[in-house]
Structure 1
Amino acid sequence: MNELTITQLQDNIWNFTEHAPGTAVDAYLVIGSQRAVMIDALQEVTGLYAKARELTDLPLDLILTHGHFDHAGASTQEFADAGCKIYMAMADYPVLTGYSGRSFPKDIFTDLADGQTFDLGGRVLETIMVPGHTPGSALLLDRAAGVACSGDSFGSGPIWLQLPDSLSLSKYQENLERAIAKLKELPELLLLTGHRNQSPEPLHMDYLCDLLAAVRGVRDGSLSGETKEMEMHGISFPFAIVSHGKMLGLFYSPEKIEG
């Protein structure tokens, strides 16, 4: 079993880190005065629901930022069995049950929509959909606190947009620009990403600007990487990598730049 550490980041925001092989993965427990939400369910760690219950006895929901196996992990079923409502963009259900190998019943999920809000009591989380890494990638923004739990929507220093279920760079750019327009009033915004260990420093709005510049650079030809091959879960596909500023690695498919 992978090691789990729990760290308090801010008042009523807790970081759950699974030290998985390859890269650590992060989930977050956000607690209000009336309700609480767990954002993501890690990878292979079990007992996540019980650990959350050690920190709060308030009504608890689970929100999945996307359907990849390292974020919609083994503990997802624990929340369902406990009667928690589980939110995930249903565009990602094929991702969850496809090549990543998870097999959860569809009826345990409630669709997650852009602009949806979660009033926890004294703290409101706003959903911003950013399809790209997956078709249903989302982040949860606490506008008052200037914090966003972003999963893999913006990456964590590097970002993977080369996967079979990732959108083209052109479509991702549209969604990224729309998200940045909603976030630009928060220049000190802190991103609580899905893999915090991948960046040597905390990530803010300047990182998002570097990400957007990298995407634009690949599309206009000013940035390009050498094409390589990657295999995952028995699937082989091409990818290339570029970097720009704090964007340490934009992984993209040379075959899915436009469209």
Structure 2
Amino acid sequence: MKRLLLLICFLLPVLTAAAQEGLSEPPRPPVYTAADLAVTPLEEGVWVIETDDRTTMYLVEGTERALLIDTGTHPAELDRVVRRFTRKPLFVVLTHAHYDHAGGIGFFGEIYMHPADTVLLDRLPKYEGRIRFIGGGDRFDLGGRVLEVVEMPGHTPGSVVLMDRAAGICFSGDAFGSGQVWLQVVPTAPVSLYLSAVRRMQRETAGGIEKIYCGHYPYQRRPLGADYLADMAALAQSILDGRPTDDAPFEVESALNCAAPRVAYGGEVSIVYDPAQAR
């Protein structure tokens, strides 16, 4: 018993110091699981929905309405899963129209997306519902919580970020992905365009956005921060300057790849791009 008390006395200051240093909390366990997805609360009124192919959706609830960000690749009964957590009127908003973020739109009669991404709709299952277009500055008022649309083209022409400025959080889709951003997908984007988007994101988040919840949360298990944006900006600039810290052919096969994509690395971030459109 004496040894146990001594151990506690030794560990208590260590644990207290660790807490004061702001060490991140361990991920919360899921509160709902099914064969192809899991739902986990992130903070008050915010849940992450992860599918078995590591795609990510977010459910955000206010006092009057709720908002589903993206619809995954092919989740079963997604509408019923959402209704397990909220019965409030629901907005469904796409950060972009790639299949792994828009494959489940058929569960809903109305979706919101940026018009520039309509060029990607022919890659999705035929959608019979209503499409409503959004643009920079549009706001979704959920009651006590407002999400603002900010345009961030690069990964796709119509990529958007949804910002909850009052809560200090945002949802970035793949515009600012899980450590790696793809610019080589059709239609490809120049690195210069992406760098402009990163700079804009840095300005937008400087006003109090501390957490960036990205489009493939399972790879991170945590929100991204300002350091991630700084690293991405530095890497994009190094590509434009012709001096990436590390650069190699991108070997992952995808029907969306350009002819000869390359990947540049900078610390914990990387950018896949079309060298023919680097600038």
TM-score normalised by the chain length of structure 1: 0.88
In the alignment, structure 1 residue 192 sits paired with structure 2 residue 225: no
What is the distance in 2 between the residues matched to 1:239 and 1:198? 22
- TM-superposed CA distance for 1:95, in Å, is 1.3
**Separation in structure 1 between the aligned mates of residue 256 and residue 194 of structure 2, nearest angstrom:** 25
Report how many aligned residue pairs link the two structures. 245
Contact 1:158 1:198 in 2 (8 A): no
Give the letter aligned to residue 80 of structure 2. A
Which is strand-richer, 1 or 2? Answer: 1
Match of 1:242 in 2: 264
Q: Which residue of 1 aligns with 2:114?
A: 89
8 Å CA contact 2:171–2:213 kept in 1: the answer is yes
SS in 2 for 1:251: strand
- Mark the CA change 1:233 to 1:162 in structure 2 (over 3 Å): closer, same or farther: closer
**Structure 2 counterpart of 1:91, one-letter code:** A
Distance 1:61 1:194 in 2: 18
Distance 2:172 2:160 in 1: 7
Contact 2:116–2:158 (Cα < 8 Å) also in 1:
yes
Residue 131 of structure 1: which of 150, 153, 157 is its match?
153
Matched, 1:17 2:58: no
Per the alignment, in what secondary structure is the counterpart of residue 217 of structure 1? helix
2:108 aligns with: 79
Cα deviation digits, residues 102-126 of structure 1 (max 9, x gap): 3325x62111100111111111101
Aligned to 2:125: 102
After TM superposition, the structure 1 stretch with the greater mean CA deviation from structure 2, 40-49 or 230-239, is 230-239
Q: How far apart, in 2, do the equivalents of 1:113 and 1:235 lie?
A: 27
> What amino acid maps onto 1:33 in structure 2?
T
Supply the distance in 2 between the matched residues of 1:53 and 1:27 (Cα, whole angstroms). Answer: 14
Q: Mind listing any 5+ residue stretches in structure 2 that lack a counterpart? A: 1-33
The 3 A distance-change label for structure 1 pair 192 and 228 is: closer
Give the structure 1 partner of residue 75 of structure 2. Answer: 45
Percent of aligned positions that are identical: 34
User: How many angstroms apart in 2 are the aligned matches of 1:49 and 1:201?
Assistant: 25
- Is the counterpart of residue 163 in structure 1 residue 185 in structure 2? yes
Secondary structure of 1:115's partner?
Answer: coil
Deviations 1:117-156 (A, max 9, x none): 1111111101111000000001111111111111101111
Find the structure with the greater CA-based Rg: 2
Task: Give the Å deviation of 1:101.
Answer: 4.2
Say if 1:63 and 1:87, in contact at 8 Å, map to a contact too: yes
Identify the match of residue 218 of structure 1 among 220, 239, 245: 239
**Change in 2 beyond 3 A, CA 1:101/1:237:** farther
Report deviation, 1:94.
1.4
Q: TM-score, normalised by structure 2?
A: 0.82
1:196-237 Cα offsets, whole Å, 9 max, x none, are 122375411110111111101100112051235654238652
SS at match of 1:134: coil
CA distance in 2, matches of 1:212, 1:11: 31
Q: Distance in 2 between matches of 1:57 and 1:229?
A: 44
For 2:190, the aligned partner's letter is: S
* CA deviation after TM superposition for structure 1 residue 175, in Å: 2.3
The root-mean-square deviation of aligned C-alpha atoms, in Å, is 1.9
Cα 1:235–1:245, aligned 2, differ >3 Å: closer, same or farther?
A: closer
1:136-181: CA deviations, max 9, x gaps? 0011111111111111011111111111223111112122212221
Which runs of no fewer than 5 residues in structure 1 stay unpaired? none
Contact 2:185/2:258 (8 A) holds in 1:
no
> Which amino acid in structure 1 is aligned with residue 39 of structure 2?
I
1:209 aligns with 2:230: yes
Give the structure, 1 or 2, with the largest relative contact order (CA under 8 Å, sep 6 or more): 1
